[in-house]
Structure 1
Amino acid sequence: MKKFTAFLMLCGFIALTGCNTMKGAGQDIQRGGEKLENAADRNK
């Protein structure tokens, strides 16, 4: 039972870490898109 609990805790930790990583990647992609949009607006 202790091994199962430890396994569930490890899975939860990995899931939370993955969510933070995906959120950070999404923010980076959004900033890149904004810069592209700004560059396109300047070159009209």
Structure 2
Amino acid sequence: MTRRSSILVTLLAGAMMLSACANTVRGVGRDVGNTVDATGAAVNDVAR
């Protein structure tokens, strides 16, 4: 491969990795939000 092709492949691989990380972070955010909601609901059930 030429140097230019190597750089292009590296950049494309990096972009794909970063997009996968964005999806993972978004999923973790949803999970944390759901955990907070569930904990709040459990506290309200115990307080009644």
TM-score (norm 2): 0.83
In percent, how many aligned pairs have the same letter? 14
Number of aligned positions between the proteins: 44
**Residue 39 (structure 1) aligns with:** 41
TM-score (norm 1): 0.89
- For residues 31 and 20 of structure 1, what CA distance do their matches in structure 2 show? 17
Moved over 3 A (4+): none
Alignment of 1:1-44 (within 5 A): 1-44=3-46
Aligned amino acid, residue 20 of structure 2? G
- For residues 42 and 16 of structure 1, what CA distance do their matches in structure 2 show? 39
Backbone CA RMSD of aligned residues:
0.8
Question: Mind listing any 5+ residue stretches in structure 2 that lack a counterpart?
Answer: none
